Amino acid sequence: MKGRFLLVLSLILIFVMSFSGFGKVKIKYWLWLDRPQDPLFYDMVKEFNAAHPDIEVEYEVIPWDSYHSKLLNALVSGNPPDCARIHVTWLGELDAMKVLEPLDKYLKNWSGYSNVFENIWSLLKAKPDGPVYVVPFQMVVLYLYYRKDLFEKYGLKVPSDYKEFLEVAKKLTLDLDGDGRIDIYGYGLRGARGGHAMWNTFVGYFDREGKIRTGKSIIDANQWYADLFAKYKVTPPTAPTDGFLQVLGGFKSGKTAMIIHHIGSSNDVVKALGKDKVGVARVPIGINGGWTHVVPEGNAIFSSSKHKKEAFEFISWMAEHDQVDRWCRMAGSVPVLKSVAKLPYYKENIFQKVSIESVEIGGTLPTVPQTAEFVETLWPTLFQKVMLGQMTSEEMIKKLNELFGVE
């Protein structure tokens, strides 16, 4: 009798547990994390789920290197998440594939809309007159990291333009122990995927509105940048295939004296070198004028989602004051919200300060479908060939022009 009672009770419990999620809308969310070891994001999801009993967010953290191809795979096979963190360079491609949900109708009823810096919204469209596709939560702006202690030791000034930059890089490419091998290089050049942003700082192929420049000055500037490796040898010999980890690792370990990256690396760099050794400044003015990459980052909803309202509830919650403040402090990124940017933490932080100051010369890449291919494969393949002398600068620029349909 007792046994039967326990059996029935167990069955009822199992039945109830199976349906405990009944009535909850489950949202699938994908993202990459620059600091996956930090618990903040995981805690934020728990918080959201607890505060929204009718919604449950199921996330998947995917490494950056495979994120784009995995997302495309999912979209093409008809099995994407409801919403995902996306990079704005993919907007043109995703818009052409017609997989993004326009967010204007949700944003007009969102109380947080006016708290976002106004000029950010235009960067979150695929076309100037098109809809907004992304709800942003952070901004990254590229600037120069440099070894303050080495600059002081060798009496060097922070370079303001590309000529001064080269001179400083040469002076900081040193054989410190006289064994005939270079111990420190002036500049950590990123030749692998992602290096296009630093490249454009000096070359100026894209202007600040994302329009393409052509002509001899671009070809010469491109060759100059490749010559940092090939002719002037102020970069590590691994530069052609150095990616984010290698470039950052080189700076943190003292192998390089200058790199260009964004505030996301500031915590790691200070932890490795100490505050006293790390200096930051606006990027030098390039050969074709001043330019630095400004990238708002955020979340988009896919048009195939069956839970768009709930997905917007989540991504707009991620873009509220408290969440943006916590995220930006953890990731070391620049807030897109006016209310957060006013906080003393951001106003007094040297990395935040230089990021905000750099927005003045900030620009983006064109939001056209070809941009994703340019970023993911064409730029690294072609520029590596120029660095290694397998292709001329002119041939590279010609191929880029062909991709973008420019004369």
Partner 1 sequence: MKTRKKFVPFLLILPALLTISLIIMYPIIYSIVLSFKRWILTKPWDKGFVGFANYLRAFNDQSFWISVKNTIIWVFWLVILELILGMISALLLDRRKPFINVIRGIVLLPWVFPSILTALMWVWLLDGNYGVINDLLFKMGLIKDYIPWLARPNTALYGIIMAALWQGTPFFTIMILAALQTVPNELIESALIDGAGAFHRFIYVKFPWIAPSVYITTLLRTIWIANYVEIIYIMTGGGPGESSQTLAVYTFKKAYISLDFGYASALSVILILFLLIPVFFYVKLLRKTGADVS
Give me the residues that bind partner 1 (CB under 8 A), please: 65, 68-69, 72-73, 76, 92-93, 96-98, 181, 191-193, 236-242, 246, 249-250, 253, 255, 369, 372-373, 376-377, 380-381, 384-385, 387-388, 390-391
Count CB-CB contacts under 10 A for residue 325: 18
Query: How far is Cα 339 from Cα 114, in angstroms, rounded to an integer?
Result: 10
Residue from 184, 165, 167, 188 nearest 285 by CA: 165
Minimum CB–partner distance for residue 211 and partner 1 (Å) = 20
Query: How far is Cα 8 from Cα 62, in angstroms, rounded to an integer?
Result: 42
Distances (CA, A) of 112 to 108, 121, 317: 10, 13, 9
Enter the DSSP assignment of 159.
P
Here the tokens at position 98 are: 């017609």
Query: Residue 240 or residue 298: which is nearer to partner 1 going by CB?
Result: 240
Q: How far is CA 391 from the centre of its chain?
A: 29
Question: In sequence order, what are the beta bridge partners of 337?
Answer: 116
Minimum CB–partner distance for residue 142 and partner 1 (Å) = 22
Minimum CB–partner distance for residue 139 and partner 1 (Å) = 26
Enter the DSSP assignment of 59.
E
Minimum CB–partner distance for residue 165 and partner 1 (Å) = 22
Query: Residue 44 or residue 239: which is nearer to partner 1 going by CB?
Result: 239
Query: How far is Cα 38 from Cα 77, in angstroms, rounded to an integer?
Result: 32
* Burial classification of residue 70, based on how many CB atoms lie within 10 Å of its CB (0-12 exposed, 13-18 middle, 19 or more buried): middle
CA 332, 194, 391: angle at the middle one, nearest 5?
A: 155
Minimum CB–partner distance for residue 339 and partner 1 (Å) = 38
Query: Residue 122 or residue 241: which is nearer to partner 1 going by CB?
Result: 241
Cα Rg of the chain, angstroms: 24
Query: Residue 40 or residue 403: which is nearer to partner 1 going by CB?
Result: 403
SS (H, E, C) 99-143: CECCCHHHHCCCCCHHHECHHHHHHHECCCCCCECEEEEEEEECE
Query: How far is Cα 360 from Cα 196, in angstroms, rounded to an integer?
Result: 20
Return the biggest CA–CA distance within the chain.
Answer: 92
Minimum CB–partner distance for residue 316 and partner 1 (Å) = 28
Contact between residue 107 and residue 155 where contact means Cβ atoms under 8 Å apart: no
Minimum CB–partner distance for residue 215 and partner 1 (Å) = 25
Minimum CB–partner distance for residue 241 and partner 1 (Å) = 5
Continuous H helices in 256-343: 266-273, 308-318, 321-331, 338-341
Query: Residue 238 or residue 401: which is nearer to partner 1 going by CB?
Result: 238
Query: Residue 242 or residue 310: which is nearer to partner 1 going by CB?
Result: 242
Minimum CB–partner distance for residue 226 and partner 1 (Å) = 12
